[in-house]
Amino acid sequence: MQDLRTATPPLTTLSEEESMFRDAVREFAGAEVRPHVSAMDHAAQFRLDLIPKFFELGLMGIEVPERYGGAGGTIFMAVLAIEELARVDASAAIYVDVHNTLVNNAFLRWGNDEQQRRYFPRLTTGLLGAFALSEPGSGSDAFALATRAERAGDGWELTGRKFWITNGAEAGVFIVFANVDPSKAYKGITAFIVEREFPGFSVGKKEHKLGIRASSTTELILEQCEVPAANVLGPIGQGYKIAIETLNEGRIGIGAQMIGVAAGALEAAMAYVKERRQFGKAIAEFQGVQFQLAQMATDLEAARLMVYNAARLKDAGQPFAHQAAMAKLFSSQVADRTTSNCLELFGGYGYSTEYPAEKYYRDAKIGTIYEGTSNMQLQTIAKTMLK
């Protein structure tokens, strides 16, 4: 096995290229996203003019080869982008995260040459993607899905419903999982590339959520949706493998979201405790407050190291599923605790929508749920330990 001490740089050391990229995303998030965060959250609607800017900045094809219009970068660079966006707004980060770590990743690993030539030039310039696995009766048991795919002439017809689909309201292409042979159970699951304009496809209701409110989460309805044979992604019957391996990388992205959310909350709290005065001095001068801040900063650094480590392992071509599950689990726990503690440091103001603490708190909770609940991460970790 390759020695990672020589294969990758230290986890928190960024190359000049990585530093410049991170700083560019940070500047963009502050200038272009931050002014609209509160309004988008209250309206539960993302500003559609921001999505083209993600493409223009090169955030939607980070790992895609340059020959297809991508940056030819690494998942570590994607992590940096997701983290910086989430520091300002988790909803903004989610658009970039899902598009890169799930959609582009699935095309990179499982798309054939023709599919990559057909879709990557669009996925890197303006076509938003979504990943459609979950169903009403299929959550943690992802492979109990009921959506069916049947042969129809030279192609396929898909029938079923998908729930909790991130980017659903704006996406133009969807990776949809359906079972071509229920008698084979999960071995019949197959991945299909479904475009929004395909006959029989429609987007259903949009969910109104506790957090990440500006990010669209929708139902998808497939009524004998017509899909060409050329749009089967990967081998027939290998959808379970595609989903599992794609979500392994996706969990690194969720970890990046969570450390970004925690960092944003901590920065807001740090600024507030220096200004808020009680008993004649800033509350930042009280040792009890200082100890809380120190503990949160320590937890955040540990979570960041775990997320960065999983990303570096993936980029080095090393096994990373175990570390990705740990990073997703721990970073979501840290975000949950940190945002809660930061809200309390704001006192009564923390409970008000006039201040950012309550939004960070609401946005953090989803990290323990989507792309595998915390219990599912524990199960993954235990399985890999006991092999």
pLDDT digits (tens, 9 = 90+) for 238-273: 999 999 999 999 999 999 999 999 999 999 999 999
- Which pLDDT value is given to residue 144? 85
When the candidates are 1.10.150.120, 1.20.140.10, 1.20.1730.10, 3.40.1180.10, the CATH number that belongs to 241-386 is 1.20.140.10
Mean pLDDT, residues 16-25: 96
Residue the block writes with tokens 């409970």? 351
Q: Binning pLDDT at 50, 70 and 90, where does residue 141 land?
A: confident
Percent of the chain with pLDDT over 70: 97
**Where in the chain do CATH 2.40.110.10 domains reside?**
130-240
Residue 4 pLDDT greater than 50, yes or no = no
Residue 284 in tokens:
């930042």
Site of tokens 């599950």: 325
**pLDDT for position 11:** 64
For 205, list phi and psi in degrees, rounded to 5: -70, 150
Residues of the chain with CATH 1.10.540.10: 4-128
Res. 127: pLDDT tops 60: yes
What is the model's pTM?
A: 0.95
Q: Phi-psi bin for 362: left (phi > 0), alpha (psi -120 to 50), beta?
A: alpha
CB of 35 closer than 8 Å to CB of 92: no
Q: What is the DSSP letter of 196?
A: T
Which tens digits make up the pLDDT trace of 204-245? 999 999 999 999 999 999 999 999 999 999 999 999 999 999
What 3-state class would DSSP assign to 13? coil
Residues 137-160: what's their mean pLDDT?
A: 91
Greater confidence (25 vs 142) lies with 25
The 3-state DSSP class for residue 261 equals helix
Q: For residue 377, which amino acid is it?
A: Q
177 token code pair:
């999982």
Q: Which CATH number fits domain 4-128: 1.10.540.10, 3.40.50.300, 1.10.287.130, 2.30.30.230?
A: 1.10.540.10
Quick check: 31 pLDDT over 70? yes
Model confidence at 10, in pLDDT bands (50, 70, 90)?
Answer: low
Segment (H or E) for 204: strand 201-206
pLDDT in the model for residue 8: 46
CA angle 91, 95, 98 (to 5 degrees): 120
DSSP string, 271-340: HHHHH-EETTEEGGGSHHHHHHHHHHHHHHHHHHHHHHHHHHHHHTT---HHHHHHHHHHHHHHHHHHHH
| Mean local confidence (pLDDT), 324-340 | 98
130-240: CATH topology is Butyryl-CoA Dehydrogenase, subunit A; domain 2 (2.40.110)
Whether residue 185 has pLDDT greater than 50: yes
Catalytic residue among 157, 219, 249, 371: 371
Which of the pair, 285 or 1, is modelled with greater confidence?
285
CA atoms of 28 and 79, how far apart (whole Å) = 16
The sign of the CA dihedral 97, 252, 84, 339 is: positive
Which range (77-81, 140-144, 153-157, 369-373) has the least confidence? 140-144
Our answer to whether residue 371 is catalytic in this structure is yes
Fill in the amino acid letter for 266.
Answer: L
All CATH 1.20.140.10 domain ranges of the chain, comma separated, are: 241-386
